[in-house]
Structure 1
Amino acid sequence: MSALVRFEVMDGVATITLDRPEVRNAVDLATAKAIAAALDEFDARDDVLAGVFAANGPVFSAGMDLKAFAATGERPVVPDRGAFGIVERPPVKPLIAAVEGRALGGGFEIALACDLIVASRSALFGLPEVKRGLVAAAGGVLRLPSRIPRNVAMELVLTGNPIDATTAHRWGLVNHVVSDGRAVDEARVLAARIAVNAPLAVRTAKFLIDAGAHWPADEAFARQESHVDVCRKSADAAEGARAFAEKRAPAWTGT
């Protein structure tokens, strides 16, 4: 994809890797554009069903590249996808953050823009913006309260103090805690478990979880019906039933 972000595909799973370890995988405008381009390819490719967002080196991401901002004044914001090339419009396919080391500030917000998180035991998550007179406005204050209890999110945001992977797992923020150095491999295993399922059904289920959180409770079932009906009438739904009856693996077409 670029010297800043690597894009690799294997067995239906894409791995998008930040590759700026010399600056703790901080994101400047060029890197944000590379992330957005990788997500565009991820969404567009029919041979890719799930993805992993990873980083090269001992730090997942330190967030915005402050040195680049000071030098050029450019913020790492991409039209349509937003800050860091991901936070305002994440991909339509499931994306798993594989976090090794620190995910602080914008790095944490990138992980929050993903659907699932696999973290190494030494990983740290934090939104230290208030310690610098700022607000975690790239999804931190908006997404974190929907991922963990509100009072816990409030403490993290208002103190700016980080939590470790074990604590994040206890609060339900992290799906799996693994040995150091194993986050990417375990995230790929989890992505592969998703990728064997019907592509249309997976995308629709992800959309409904995200959208349904904002629907009035008394309208939710009615609002989901048109989306569910497309899956119900799809070729993949018919294939899934046939495969179950014939005791074989289904051959999905995504239609």
Structure 2
Amino acid sequence: MSSQVTFKRRFPPQNDAIVSFPAPHVMLVVFNRPQVLNAMTSSAQYDLESLFSWYDNEISLRCAIVTGAGRAFCAGMDLKEWNQTNARRANGEHAGQPPMPRSGFGALSRRHGKKPVIAAVNGIAFGGGMEIIANLDLVVAAKGASFALPEAKRGVVALAGSLPRLARTIGRPRAMEMALTGKSITAEEAKGWGLVNAVVEDNTADCAVLDRPVVKAALDYAATIVDNSPDSVIISRAGIVAGWEDGSAENASRLLADNWEPALNDGENLHEGVKAFAEKRAPRWVDSKL
């Protein structure tokens, strides 16, 4: 997984994630604390916020994939760190910066962003890991993956954005079932509920990340996305996110037309796509300037 790719600015360093670029225009991020099931510290989340901000602004990149090292996608917040923070507060000490950035858990659970992020869920996605899943653009899961919001079992609440988002994605009864019982659901159940796009075979324990069926499937999705106009991908995603967040289809449609249509019409890729169709050839897209 070579990261020897030249960009205008080097990507922000990551202490708890591995960043690589396994295909043209694609970034792969591996959460890398397998010894604690990729539970995240606060510092790791702020590192990821810097990374995904860089990704949105690096014009040569068009799609990102996130997955986990070892047997978990992400087990949520590092509870040992959380306990230490609570102890400092109880002693009247200043707890420092908020435990997660404005873009939410793992810098993804409340991220609006500009470009798509795909989850390749290789194992458990619990707590904050589930909150990340609830806000990503596409989700591919291995058969053995499982999903849960067990916060109520620990006396806490999933406050990183997943609860209202899940109500819209899987419906109130199923969202209530997950949040109030803390039960886990299988990858097949998650697909049936509309939370997951595809379920693929599990990988062997010693399988390299790029050889995992779930990562290969995510890379296939990414390859299809980057073959399309990067302008169209960004604007199409913005339209779906606007409708999902706002709740009004008409208002989202108006905002999409007002905010994005002029830029689309003025961009090179719209004209290239139409011209390529007329000339019966494959389009030659340029990096989006949106």
Whether TM exceeds 0.5 here: the answer is: yes
Deviation at 1:72?
Answer: 4.5
Q: Which amino acid aligns with 2:241?
A: D
**Are the aligned partners of 1:43 and 1:92 in contact in 2 as well (CA < 8 Å)?**
yes
The answer to whether residue 254 in structure 2 is matched with residue 222 in structure 1 is yes
Q: Counterparts of 2:36 and 2:154 in 1: how far apart (Å)?
A: 19
Deviation at 1:129, TM superposition (A): 0.9
Deviates more, 1:129-138 or 1:173-182: 129-138
In the TM superposition, what is the alpha-carbon distance from 1:81 to its structure 2 partner? 2.1
Residue 240 of structure 1 deviates from its aligned partner by 0.1
Contact 2:103 2:111 survives alignment (8 Å): yes
Distance in 1 between the 2:252 and 2:46 partners?
A: 35
Aligned partner of 2:17 in structure 1 is 5
Cα distance in 2 for residues equivalent to 1:43 and 1:230: 17
Aligned to 1:168: 190
**Structure 1 runs (4+) greater than 4 angstroms displaced:** 72-75
Whether contact under 8 Å (1:27, 1:76) holds in the other structure is no
- AA at the equivalent of 1:77: M
Q: How high is the TM-score relative to the length of structure 1?
A: 0.93
Tell me which amino acid in the other structure corresponds to 1:232. Answer: N
Q: CA deviation at 1:82?
A: 3.0
Paired residue for 1:69?
82
Matches within 5 A, 1:22-37: 22-37=35-50
CA distances 1:141-180 after superposition (whole Å, capped 9, x unpaired): 1211111122111111111101000011111110000001
Decide whether the 8 Å contact of 1:51 with 1:95 is kept in 2.
Answer: yes
Structure 1 unaligned blocks of 5 or more: none
Report if the CA contact (8 A) 1:42-1:91 is conserved.
no
- Give the total of aligned pairs: 254
Q: Identical aligned pairs, as a percentage? A: 37
Trace 1:1-255 onto structure 2 (pairs within 5 A).
1-9=13-21, 10-73=23-86, 76-78=99-101, 80-181=102-203, 182-213=213-244, 214-226=246-258, 227-253=260-286, 254-255=288-289
The answer as to whether partners of 2:103 and 2:109 remain within 8 angstroms in 1 is yes
Tell me: CA distance 1:47–1:218, structure 2 relative to 1, closer, same or farther (3 Å).
Answer: closer
Matched-pair contact (CA < 8 Å) for 2:239–2:253? no
| Residues 27 and 236 of structure 1, relative CA distance in 2, 3 Å threshold | same
Please state whether the residue corresponding to 1:180 is helix, strand or coil.
coil
CA contact (8 A) 1:31 1:76 kept: no
Q: How far apart, CA to CA, are the structure 2 residues paired with 1:222 and 1:171?
A: 30
Amino acid of the residue matched to residue 4 of structure 1? D
Report the RMSD for the aligned CA atoms in angstroms. 1.7
Q: CA deviation at 1:112?
A: 1.6
Larger radius of gyration: 2
The structure-2 alpha-carbon separation of the partners of 1:166 and 1:50, relative to structure 1 and needing over 3 Å to count, comes to: same
1:7 touches 1:38 (CA, 8 Å); kept in 2?
Answer: no
